[in-house]
Amino acid sequence: MNEDVKKFFGGMLMITGILFALLAGGCGLYVIPLLIMYGGSYGSPPPTFIGNTLLIIVFPGIPILLCCGLFAWGFSLLPKKNNKTQNKNTNE
């Protein structure tokens, strides 16, 4: 693959990962307190502590892990800077 295409694709994956993580985290910040306060519905009892803990871990946790994977994949596609060429350019 061409270096420009790798840079573009890597940047797009990183941006997608960041935006998806923000949306998943924001949705979790909105929905989880509502579920904790009101339970599943108005007629059902509120979830237990274990149910709340699993809900807090699973509901935003899985999408955020996927986002971190997208970000890492995009970062791995970016070109690596060579320290030897940087040092050679600064010495001249």
Tens-level pLDDT at each residue, the chain (92 residues) = 788 899 999 999 999 999 988 887 777 777 777 776 766 555 556 666 667 677 777 777 888 889 999 999 999 988 887 766 555 656 55
Determine the pLDDT at residue 40.
58
Between the alpha carbon of residue 74 and those of residues 2, 11, 15, 19, 25, the distances in Å are: 15, 6, 9, 13, 20
CA–CA distance, 89 with 10 (Å, rounded to integer): 26
Owner of token pair 């797009």: 12
Whole-model pTM: value is 0.64
- Kindly give, in sequence order, each residue whose CB lies less than 8 Å from that of residue 52, ignoring residues fewer than 6 positions away: 35, 36
